[in-house]
Amino acid sequence: MGSLQHMPSLQKHLVHQGTTFERHYCSTAICCPSRVSLWTGQLAHNTNVTNVNPPWAGGYPKFVQNGYNDHHLALWLQQSGYNTYYVGKLFNAHTIYNYDSPHVSGYTQSNFFLDPFTYQYYNVSTTKNGAPPTNPVGKYSTDIVAESANEFLDHALQDDSPFFITLAPIAPHALVGEGSLGGFDPPQVAQRHEGLFPEYKIPRTPNFNPDSPSGVSWVSKLPKLNDTILDYNDEYQRRRLRSLQAVDEIVDSVVDRLEQAGVLGDTFIFYTSDNGYHIGQHRLHPGKTCGFETDINVPLVVRGPGIPAQRVTQVSSSHTDLAPTILQIAGIEIGDKKFDGTPIDIYGKETESRSEHVAVEFWGFGLAESVFGRENGSPIYLNNTYKGLRIEAEDYGFYYSVWCHNEKELYDMKADPGQLHNLLSSKESRIDATITIADKQWPLGKIADRLDALMMVLKSCKQQSCAHPWKSLHPTGDVRNFHDALSTEYDDFYSEQVKVSFTNCEAGYIIESEGPQGFHTFEAGEGYADGGFYETPEQRALVNPNWSLWE
């Protein structure tokens, strides 16, 4: 919702001095699986950290159980000679009881926020360098991040080793726990920032509290928000923006410290978020977990040596690309690391060859982070499990999804950026419907068949099939992107392709509930072959024995 526009230091030091990636995405719009993807370079269906709650869906225990405490970005950097540092929230279920079972690996110094106090702005619990937890009561949590940032920089700059510092404030996350009236309340604000943005209102875009419902499943059943809720939501977003002012101060102080030390010109700075947020769009109460652009499109601004200043790019990228990108910057070989992403061209030199797709996936429930949103007696919306696909190029842009009850969404993002008109709903879909691409009309069914086939690859992809899914469908390499796939030569192949479907709505990744796990591959002159098709997990393992968790 344009939060970066309200952060003057970030604008001055990063946006104006670096490159903004406007089409950067998280693949799973909730914190824990998104963070694990960022640190491992793998999609959530491969990490099997799919939500925030242990024992089997997410959280720090699942991160450890699945072997990722021994395989993550900071550890790889440390093993290559970097001093590494972390302050703030790492994962959910990283608690005052399990912080040392085991300790987080890979950090020279650390100051982790711990549950159940992670989201307490004035009563956070921390473990500093593995010591027993303490509660610096009365200190604003973002200011604790700022203090640690200064300490880390002091330590790093006294050493000749390269350094990697992660600053992870909770702002603008909702207040959770003690002091929260509704379970989730607007964030608390540093006293010095109270009262800012008094006239701010959430932009009344066409998809904001629309007269007609949108989306599918529980989203399509939401009532229109009344004036009381709209006023609450506006103040909620004001408090989010106020909470970000302390984050903006960190940007200013870190850049100033690097400049004083004479190393700013040699330092790469990344600014991003684990997930997006919606407030009022599609009649939604404050929260995330949806596949809408509000939830999956997240900031990414990069400043550093050789990176063009004041550049804005529309090239698609995702959090699975960040670990390989940072390793490439550090000159560290990717080797046998099982990345689903590829390095982002942060220098703007190779955009023509960049992929145009991002895989999207979610398991579990939606949640209203508000005192409102209890139409059914609970803030929880069940069966929020879906697979999605975001594709973006100069002439076309689409969001396609299949939900666990097999409802489908297709939005033409060029004509309908607010995602109000689901072209596959009974109201919108017509036999003769077309979509315009490069001034040419294409049948809706032809578009949907291609997108579904691409999702068949991505929904269970691994490594190269995630990065180059078209090659899985067309092994000869004749199809490199969606436009290539539109050739009439492939019409029968795509119309007869295996379709994405679910057999059950699950709260986590249970592959047996996610329908067919394979697809036909195209062979010139023969249409398609069944050699790449496998329908059960057992058949999938025979074809690709490495599909399971980290080995």
- Catalytic positions, please? 31
CA distance 77 to 89: 20
How big is the chain by its Cα radius of gyration, in Å? 23
Count CA atoms closer than 13 A to 466's CA, side-chain side: 26
Q: Report which DSSP code applies to 307.
A: P
Give SS3 for 318. Answer: strand
Task: Name every residue whose Cβ is closer than 8 Å to that of residue 488 and which is 6 or more positions away in sequence.
Answer: none
CA distance 172 to 477: 44
Q: Is 77 exposed, middle or buried (0-12, 13-18, 19+ CB in 10 A)?
A: buried
| Pair 545, 551: CB distance under 8 Å | no
CA distance 549 to 551: 6
Q: Which residues of 297-326 are buried (b: 16+ CB within 10 A; e: fewer)?
A: bbbbbbbbeebeeeeebebbbbbbbbbbbb
Rounded to the nearest 10°, the torsion over CA 100, 101, 104, 105 is: 110
Which residues does residue 386 pair with via DSSP β-bridges, in sequence order?
Answer: 362, 403
Task: Name every residue whose Cβ is closer than 8 Å to that of residue 496 and which is 6 or more positions away in sequence.
Answer: 520, 527, 528
CA distance 371 to 519: 45
CA distance 342 to 152: 29
